[in-house]
Structure 1
């Protein structure tokens, strides 16, 4: 039996390559003769650059940038044939902030990484968005590229309070002649009931009261940067504007184009071709829930498997969807580490427990289990 193993990172516990290795190791305990192929995936969030470097090759460079709360952090930029790939999570990711501080976290470091890529000669820059600790509408990125305002743009959303004027002329000049590609893991807008703050603010530490506050601040930020008419503000409603707490909005202001992060990575690793060459596709992520349908790895991999007429199953830290939702996403079955060992244990020994789960799942799906 041939099995394609194409997981995402398991939020803060395992990288995508580590998750793939754990699944393969566990599966082989039951079915050592099965042929398993690792195809680590990303939707633009954590692991984006590593996955693309494994698929595309290229040269890596490291730049030091300002982290979400001001502490310097390293960011790896991948250069391939005039294109630079930047992973925003490396500059402003959730893993860089403890405790969470969404009112003050900034995307300034992402702008610094983009500037470094331009200085290195890139004429096309692909910025992976996802896993951010920030909710500043991309104001920090704009500041790093030269934008100015009547308030501080580089100190998080609270610092934007009272903003009335934002000038992005210098930032647009800085990126002139460079194609900006926004590889997003979500397609939500910036503002409102289904916008960035309401949808992902809680996981970044915003309370219900702060969600309303920050959404109002960002509404005024949009008006200051774009204008007050619906036509002028349209960019804030565009798909992907709300990605990474509004980084998508800032990059759209600079002329960026939104693409699906999972589709971009799938093309790079040849996922359609690989799925067709295997009998079963296995994917996974830390928490498999309804949000997995919104541009995430699991949904993207399952869609490719369906196109190739191959069954797809999910191995996850936690599974929070029912069988009907799974079928709607193209998933045959989903299996949870937490269901076997509990949530706490699944977080403390993630590699071992995921491998154990893969062993159990292989008994169901590998022909050897029928012997």
Structure 2
């Protein structure tokens, strides 16, 4: 039996690569004769570059830049053929802010990474967006690329308050005409009831009573830049980094679709007898561009069953089927919350062995 293992990260505990290895280890305990094919996945958020490098290989370029509050942080550009891959979470991720200071956090540190990617001689640069600790509408990266305004562009959303002029010409010329692609895990606009601030402001550390004010600041900023584009799907991804990339002439694609195509997931699914995916929490938000839903869709197209292993499973059987999943197994339900947190890899392996007992032909 051939089993395709294609999980996302288990946020805060395991990378997608580590999760895939743990599932494989547990599966082999119960069904050592099965062939396990690893295809760790990403929706564009944390782990995007690692996942693609694990499957595609390529050259890694190290970049030193600044984080959301000015601290020095490392970042990596992956070059594969004529494409460079960049992960915004390495520079702007919520793990760098601890969910604090979202109004002053800046995306400016992404600019040197984009410059390094463009200077590597590639034709296109793909930027994975997700897991952001910033909410500045991408103004920081635009300013660091040369955009000018009558207020500071690199001091977060608060710095944009009162903006009346904005010139993007130098920023649009800064990357030498490479094709920009934003790989997003959400399709939200920049502003409004379903925009970046309302949807992810709390994650970025913006208090609920401040969110309307911050959204208004971004509305003012968008009115000067390009109001229509601020409403495009994905403009609100990465705290508005999606909007910045659109303003630079970029296009938006689904992160999970891009990674699926890059790693040849459809062909691998057709060659498998079973597909196993996973993530930290499996709930209805999984439908909004997340890895398990995308993997399940690929498995369904290949007429293969798909099961999920997750830290928590927060949907019932009917909802699970609506998400395209044949079954889902919770670490917390099987090993308990304490062990799931303190020994995530061992817990995943334990649950995977139990799944193999049910789903493997030799289990």
Q: Specify the TM-score bucket, using the shorter chain as the normaliser.
A: over 0.9
What pairs with 1:254-273 in structure 2 (closer than 5 Å)?
A: 254-273=248-267
C-alpha distance in structure 1 between counterparts of 2:194 and 2:337, whole Å: 28
8 Å Cα contact 1:150-1:166 kept in structure 2: yes
C-alpha distance in structure 2 between counterparts of 1:338 and 1:203, whole Å: 23
Equivalent in the alignment of 1:250: 244
Query: What are the Cα deviations for residues 274-315 of structure 1, in whole angstroms up to 9, with x where unaligned?
Result: 001111100011111211111111111000000000011110
For residue 101 of structure 1, report the CA deviation from its aligned partner.
1.8
Unaligned runs of 5+ in 1: 227-232
Q: 1:335 aligns with which of 307, 329, 340?
A: 329
* Secondary structure at the counterpart of residue 64 of structure 1: strand
For residue 368 of structure 1, report the CA deviation from its aligned partner.
3.0
8 Å Cα contact 1:137-1:190 kept in structure 2: yes
Task: Give the paired residue count.
Answer: 363
C-alpha distance in structure 1 between counterparts of 2:290 and 2:273, whole Å: 23
* Secondary structure at the counterpart of residue 26 of structure 1: helix
C-alpha distance in structure 2 between counterparts of 1:206 and 1:177, whole Å: 35
C-alpha distance in structure 1 between counterparts of 2:316 and 2:150, whole Å: 49
Moved more, 320-329 or 68-77: 320-329
8 Å Cα contact 1:175-1:254 kept in structure 2: no
Q: 1:308 aligns with which of 302, 308, 318?
A: 302
For residue 99 of structure 1, report the CA deviation from its aligned partner.
5.4
* Secondary structure at the counterpart of residue 7 of structure 1: coil
For residue 200 of structure 1, report the CA deviation from its aligned partner.
1.6
Instruction: Indicate how the Cα distance of structure 1 residues 269 and 154 shifts in structure 2: closer, same or farther if over 3 A, else same.
Output: same
For residue 262 of structure 1, report the CA deviation from its aligned partner.
0.9
For residue 339 of structure 1, report the CA deviation from its aligned partner.
2.1
8 Å Cα contact 2:118-2:176 kept in structure 1: no
* Secondary structure at the counterpart of residue 193 of structure 1: coil
C-alpha distance in structure 1 between counterparts of 2:348 and 2:69, whole Å: 33
8 Å Cα contact 1:122-1:178 kept in structure 2: yes
* Secondary structure at the counterpart of residue 177 of structure 2: coil
TM-score by length of 2: 0.97
TM-score by length of 1: 0.94
Query: What are the Cα deviations for residues 165-211 of structure 1, in whole angstroms up to 9, with x where unaligned?
Result: 22111101113421101111111111111111111222222221122
* Secondary structure at the counterpart of residue 128 of structure 2: strand
Equivalent in the alignment of 1:135: 135
* Secondary structure at the counterpart of residue 239 of structure 1: coil
8 Å Cα contact 1:104-1:158 kept in structure 2: yes
8 Å Cα contact 2:129-2:237 kept in structure 1: yes
Which aligned segments of 4 or more residues in structure 1 are displaced greater than 4 angstroms?
none
For residue 367 of structure 1, report the CA deviation from its aligned partner.
2.4
8 Å Cα contact 1:128-1:182 kept in structure 2: yes
